[in-house]
Amino acid sequence: MQIIGSQYRPKEVDHRPQIVLEYVHHSTGCSDRSAHQGFLVDAQAMTALLYDFATHADYRVAVKREFDGIKALFAEYQDALRKTYTVPNMPDPR
C-alpha cells in the first residue's frame, strides 16, 4: 500500500509543496472559483485520510509499515551519500 496525496492548483498560482495548508495561501492565491474549489477538495481529502487513519487500526499498521520502509531507505541513501561525497580536509581558517 502506498499513500499518496495530491493537490489541485491553477498554473498561475505559485504554491510550493507544503504539508500544512496555510491560510495565507488560501486568501492570497485563491482568487478565482477553481482555485477555491481545489482548496476545498484538498481539505476534504485530508479530512477523509485522517478519519480513516483514526478509525481503522489496519490502516495505521499499513502506514507504520510504509514509514518504517521509508526510514530504512533514507538511511541507505544517507550512507550512499557519505561514501560518494567525502568531506574535504580543509585547514583551519584562523
What is the full per-residue pLDDT of the chain (94 aa) written as tens digits?
Answer: 444 444 444 444 444 444 445 554 555 555 677 777 888 889 999 999 999 999 999 999 999 999 999 988 998 999 999 999 988 888 888 8
DSSP state of 11: T
3-state secondary structure of 38: helix
Residue 25's Cβ-side half-sphere holds a number of Cα atoms within 13 Å equal to 17
Distance of CA 68 to the CA centre of its chain: 16
Cβ atoms of residues 7 and 21 within 8 Å = no
3-state secondary structure of 89: coil
Q: What is the pTM of this model?
A: 0.46
